[in-house]
Structures are given as C-alpha cells and as structure tokens.
Amino acid sequence: MRILGIESSCDETAAAVVDDGRKIRSSVVASQVDVHHLYGGVVPELASRKHIEAIVPVVEQAIAESHTDNHGIDAVAATQGPGLVGALLVGFCFAKAYAYGLKIPFIGVDHLEGHLSSVLLSDSPPPFPFVALLASGGHTAIYHVKAEGEYALLGQTRDDAAGEAYDKVAKMLGLGYPGGMVIDQLASQSASGGIEFPRPYLDKEKFDFSFSGIKTAVHRYIQSQEDVSSQDHQAEIAAGFQAAVIDVLVHKLLYAANVTNSRHVAIVGGVAANQGLRERLTREVDHCSLSLHIPPISLCGDNAAMIAAAAHRHLQNDDRTSMKADVYSRQLRTPH
C-alpha cells in the first residue's frame, strides 16, 4: 500500500510517499521558519498563506522523488488536527481533492498519532508494547503504546509544552524563533554546567508536567541580572534550563516504563531532536536495561512521512475519512 501523506498543521508544509506504513520513498518538508522568525512565533494568517503557496510544489516534489506517479498512489492522508485551523485546512482540503480526483481513499490523521508513528519509521522501531514521550511545541505527554494504534495517555502537561518553554526562553534571550535547537547548542557550550533552576516534577509519581514555572524562574533570573547578552552567560542560562527540563522528562519517562513494565521506550516530537536529551537517555537506559528508540532528527519535527505511516493502519482497517469531515484545532481525543 503506497500512501501520499500531507502535513500542514503549523509552520511546515510537508508531503511524503510511504510504502506499507514503514518504507519512506520520499519526504519533503518546506519550513516557514524564516517568515515567522521575524515575529518571534508563528503568525497563523501568514502560515495559511505560505501553505497555499507551497502545497502544490511540495506535493509535486514528493511524488517526483518517490519515483512513482499519481496512479501509483493507493490513498491520500492529511493531518486533521490539532493545529492552526487555517493551516490545517490547506493540506486537508488539498488531500481530499487529490483523493477525490483519483478515486482513492482519503484518511484524516491525528497529528499526535502521526508523531507517535514516526518512531515506527526508524531503523530500529520499538516492539509493542512501549512507552513514548511525545514532546513538541504544542504537546508534552507520555503514552503507553500497547499495540499499533492502541495508545493509553498516562499524563500530559498542564500548561506549556516543553518545546514551547524552549521557544519562550529563547525569546527572552533575544534568540528568535524557534528556540529549541539554539538553546540546545548554547547549552553544550556551558563551562560550569549551568545555573540552577527548579525542577517542576509536580507529583514525582504522576505523569503530568508543568513547564510554565521553570520559564518564570528563568525570566526572574534574567530580570535580576544587569546584562545577559554575553554568549558565556547565555550558555549558562541555556544549560541550566535544559538540565531542569531534561531531568523531568527523563524521570517521568523512565518511571512510566517502570510502572507499565515496559522494556522499550521511545521519544518523539520536535524536542526529541534535542542532543542533550538523546545523550542523557542513551546513558540512562543502559543502567536499567531498557531499549531506547528515537526517530532520526528529520522525523522528529513535523513531517508528512509520519502522517502516511499512521494512515496505513487506518487504511488496513478500512477506516476512511468522509469527504464531509472537517479539521479540528484542539486535541479532541487520545489518538486512536
């Protein structure tokens, strides 16, 4: 089964062709970061316009690079939500029209299920069951993935997502948007290991997160200083912030593995690209004989290969989406 996937929930226009939910034939991601960078965050109206400009060339490129043509595609999938409505509508409506024109099935995919499926595209996908930390710009949650498509939500953030906290701290330091990668790189330059910030565990035995407190602690610290513009000082702030976030993410993920008796753990979403997190988890799993599964960096951020991978199971179950279906902006349900 060859699926064309389309993703346009936020600031990336992406298309991919994936065989049998596992083999990526092509994956094209057109980022709008340069547009939004100027504003320090995603401007929804601009995002929609940029998706409209990009969708046709991005899909054409994905088809061309997959060495197939329209008639080789068995189904079309697109992100249905959650995300920015105006942005989602571009990919979703385009995909519907594409499927209608070719008289092939159309499948709307939950964005979070897409991220959870991204690890199935890695070279060493985890066997089921496993626990997964999904940490992105919009979400931070831990799932117990019992079988393909069977996700139990163990806990999630009560306020900011982890990626959002990265973006806000970067903004405080005048480093633009998005902030994850630049904070990650700065953190690696710290000489002293970073400034000490509080760890927002909430209840250590629960799986919900809170990142707004740590963001406020960083803000207070910056306000208390005369000048934080030197690279060395910024590196200490970045390292301290990153260490606090990683401590919490790692603690909760490993605790979830323990409680659910899982032997396999995965991290997915934009924050899974974080070098500090990847290195720390790689060390930690060694001590507790767990196996760690992380998608390649290209599949951590938003992409369409993960949407096509998630759609494969729906197609197998003949679970198609009606042409009358609409997009949704907020998380409606645990992905199923």
Question: Of 60-68, 174-182, 189-197, 247-255, which segment contacts ligand KG4 by CB under 6 A?
Answer: 174-182
Please give, one letter per residue, the 3-state secondary structure of 38-74.
CCCCCCHHHHHHHHHHHHHHHHHHHHHHCCCCHHHCC
From the CB of 163, what's the least distance to ligand KG4, in Å? 3
Distance between start and end Cα atoms, the chain: 20
Q: Return the residue of 119, 167, 209, 264 that touches ligand KG4, per CB under 6 A.
A: 167
Q: C-alpha distances in angstroms, 198 versus 6, 242, 270, 306, 336?
A: 40, 11, 23, 34, 35
81 binds ligand KG4 (CB under 6 A): no
The residue within the footprint of ligand KG4, chosen from 7, 110, 160, 184 (CB under 6 A), is: 184
Q: Cα separation of 178 and 36, whole Å?
A: 9
Cα–Cα distance, 336 to 334 (Å, whole number)? 6
Among 5, 149, 200, 269, binds ligand KG4 (CB under 6 A): 269
Q: Which is nearer to ligand KG4, 108 or 138 (CB)?
A: 138
Residue in 21, 137, 240, 295 binding ligand KG4, rule: CB under 6 A: 137
Q: Does 238 bind ligand KG4 (CB under 6 A)?
A: no
Q: Centre a 10 Å sphere on the Cβ of residue 49 and count the other Cβ atoms it contains.
A: 16
Which one, 91 or 180, has the nearer CB to ligand KG4? 180
- Beta-ladder partners of 18: 3, 24
CA 262, CA 172: separation in Å to the nearest integer? 39
Residue 86 contacts which entry, Zn ion, ligand KG4, none (Cβ below 5-8 A, type-dependent): none
- CB-wise, 68 or 331, nearer to ligand KG4? 331
Are 80 and 110 in contact by the 8 Å Cβ rule? The answer is: yes
- Angle (CA) 96-147-311 rounded to 5° is 10
Between the alpha carbon of residue 33 and those of residues 8, 10, 46, 307, the distances in Å are 13, 10, 11, 21
Considering the complex, what minimum distance in angstroms separates the CB of residue 321 from ligand KG4? 20
Is residue 309 a contact point for ligand KG4 (CB under 6 A)? no
The amino acid present at 5, given as its one-letter code, is: G
C-beta closer to Zn ion: residue 21 or 269:
269
CB of 270 to ligand KG4, least distance (A): 2
Number of residues that bind ligand KG4 (CB under 6 A): 20
Considering only residues 90 to 129 of the shown chain, the ones binding ligand KG4 according to CB under 6 A are none
Q: Closer to ligand KG4 at the Cβ: 73 or 268?
A: 268
Query: In the set 51, 301, 308, 312, which binds ligand KG4 (CB under 6 A)?
Result: 301
Please, which residues have CB within 8 angstroms of residue 95's CB and are 6 or more apart in sequence? 4, 6, 76, 77, 78, 106
Please identify which residue in 113, 164, 184, 302 interacts with Zn ion, judged by CB under 5 A: 302
- HSE-CB at 330 with a 13 A cutoff on CA atoms is 1
Strands (E), the chain: 2-7, 12-19, 23-31, 75-81, 106-110, 130-135, 140-147, 150-156, 264-268, 291-293
Binding segment toward ligand KG4, per CB under 6 A, in 42-50, 67-75, 121-129, 268-276: 268-276
- Partner interacting with residue 180 (select from ligand KG4, Zn ion, none; CB below 5-8 Å by kind): ligand KG4
Task: Please pick, from the candidates 5, 163, 240, 295, the single residue that binds ligand KG4 as defined by CB under 6 A.
Answer: 163
Site residues for ligand KG4 per CB under 6 A: 10, 136-138, 163-164, 166-167, 178-181, 184, 269-271, 273-274, 301-302
